[in-house]
Amino acid sequence: MKYRFKIGISACLLGNKVRYDGAHAYDRYLEETIGKFVEWVAVCPEVECGLQVPREPMRLEGNPASPRLLTKKTGIDHTNRINGWCKKRLIRLKKEDISGFIFKSRSPSCGLRSVKVYMMPSTNSIRTGRGIFAEAFIRRFPGIPVEDEDRLIGNYRLDNFMERVFMPGRWKSPEDGSKTAWI
């Protein structure tokens, strides 16, 4: 049996209908390029922390360094719920030994860059930050390669991401887990 690296991925990118409106964001390109070589570990922060599909859209508000996750119309604050879930999920991801993570761009939970953060409730003053789960992941696993799906479309970025994913694994033996080269 051939060893397959594990890569975490936002579940909507694999076609799972977990987005707020019941839709998905299936990324055929990822499935047809990277998908042949890896085992996906699908993650959806909103669904896994107990929110329903469909659900009210959410946005980040406040300080971009530590934003709150609020529903857009009713203002329900889900920050504590998702932060509590993040702590538990990151422990499980550590045990799964993932080698990289591909996040859904611009998502208030999973966006890696350029996620809108509204500075004050009910205003349109915007800065940018990271999604809450993406930020927690990077803090917990600073050495694991991460990328937004929309940045992997060009060959250079995809090649660079995959090289960063595969390099550390060249010192793992898939048979017994020992640190021996298999180059």
Distances (CA, A) of 28 to 13, 36, 125: 8, 12, 35
Provide the pLDDT for residue 172: 52
Q: Look at strands 5-10 and 38-43 and give their pairing.
A: parallel
Provide the pLDDT for residue 181: 41
Q: How far is residue 166's CA from residue 175's CA, in Å, rounded to a whole number?
A: 17
Provide the pLDDT for residue 179: 46
DSSP letter string, 96-156: HT--EEEEPTT-TTT--S-EEEESSTT---EEEE--HHHHHHHHH-TTS-EEEGGGSSSHH
Q: What is the mean pLDDT of residues 14-38?
A: 93
What's at 91, amino acid-wise?
A: I
Radius of gyration from C-alpha coordinates of the chain:
17
Pick the CATH number of 5-54+82-114+131-169 from 1.10.287, 3.40.50, 3.30.420, 3.30.70: 3.40.50
Three-state secondary-structure class, residue 10: strand
Q: How far is residue 46's CA from residue 39's CA, in Å, rounded to a whole number?
A: 22
Provide the pLDDT for residue 52: 96
CB atoms inside a 10 Å sphere around CB 138? 15
Q: How far is residue 77's CA from residue 12's CA, in Å, rounded to a whole number?
A: 23
Distance of CA 153 to the CA centre of its chain: 17
pLDDT at 62 over 90: yes
pLDDT at 178 over 50: no
Provide the 8-state DSSP code for 64. Answer: T
pLDDT at 144 over 90: yes
Give which of 145, 155, 149, 141 is closest to 10, Cα–Cα: 149
> Can you give the residue ranges of every domain in the chain?
5-54+82-114+131-169
Provide the 8-state DSSP code for 77. Answer: B
This prediction's pTM:
0.89
